[in-house]
Amino acid sequence: MRIAVSGTHFVGKSTFVDLLTEALQHYKKLKEPYWQLVEEGVRFPEVLRAKDFLIQLERSLENIQNSGPDSILDRSPLDFLAYIRCCDDARTFEYESWKEEIFRQLYRLNAIFYIPVESPDRIFCPVEADPDLRIRMGNELASLLFEGKWPVPIYSLTGTPEQRVSRALQYMNK
């Protein structure tokens, strides 16, 4: 299966990806596009704008395109659509010009595992990580994921990291 893990920052996506990859040892883990780009020398500003998330959206789409059948991707293209929608300059993003490619790559996924912000919150978000953006993006992403007609099953995973992995494995075995 080709799986993307989706959610706002500081919800436990990377921990979940690590644990799921441990459980599925033959799966390949792909890092979050932001960190891939930083490792390649891309320098992002302290406050990200729509164009910065667009660069990450492009990488997310490339990651899906280039991934093998047993891959776990940290983030989905929908994450970046949600972040873009939260930006002051969101109107500069022309979704219609990206829609076809987003759908084409989402068709390649077998599942998106969505990790929401829980109440009570499981992970502390430091001030420098913009807790307000975290909540806005989380709300925007939930709206996108569950109100849109996407060509991939989307599963919401809550609970401890171990509970999330257990549920994910159940979904994968159906």
pLDDT, tens digit, 9 for 90 and up, residues 49-69: 999 999 999 999 999 999 999
- 83/93 Cα distance (integer angstroms): 11
CA distance 25 to 61: 24
- Specify the pTM: 0.95
Residue type, 133: L
CATH assignment of 2-172?
3.40.50.300
Within 8 A by CB and 6+ apart from 148, the residues are 78
- Number of helical (H) and strand (E) elements in the chain, helices listed first: 7, 5
- Domain range summary for the chain, segments of one domain joined by +: 2-172
Q: How many C-alpha atoms does 80 have within 13 Å on its Cβ side? A: 27
Confidence of residue 174 (pLDDT cuts 50, 70, 90): low
CB atoms within 10 A of CB 42: 14
